Amino acid sequence: MADDLRDLFATNLRRLRHARGLTQDELADEAEVSRSYLAQVETAKKHVSLKIISKLAHALDVDPVEFLRRPARRDRGG
């Protein structure tokens, strides 16, 4: 479960960063973390603290819950 959440966090972090048109360098600077650390978080190689989650959410202007939101399933209709 922990690895699943870490992967989900990493995927959402990348998605949100791309949606804002930010590079890793730009987001790292805004969130006051190293680009190397951010890259490791985005590849699910590092755990993140609540402090870092807060910094990233603030830098991306999102609610921290967005990092753990599962993708919506597509309605297959029928």
Beta-carbon contacts of residue 64 (< 8 Å; ≥ 6 apart): 53, 54, 57
Nearest to 3 by CA among 32, 43, 54, 56: 43
- State pTM to two decimals: 0.87
Q: How many residues does the chain have?
A: 78
- The 10s digit of each residue's pLDDT in 2-32 is 679 999 999 999 999 999 999 999 999 999 9
36 CB contacts (<8 Å, ≥6 apart)? none
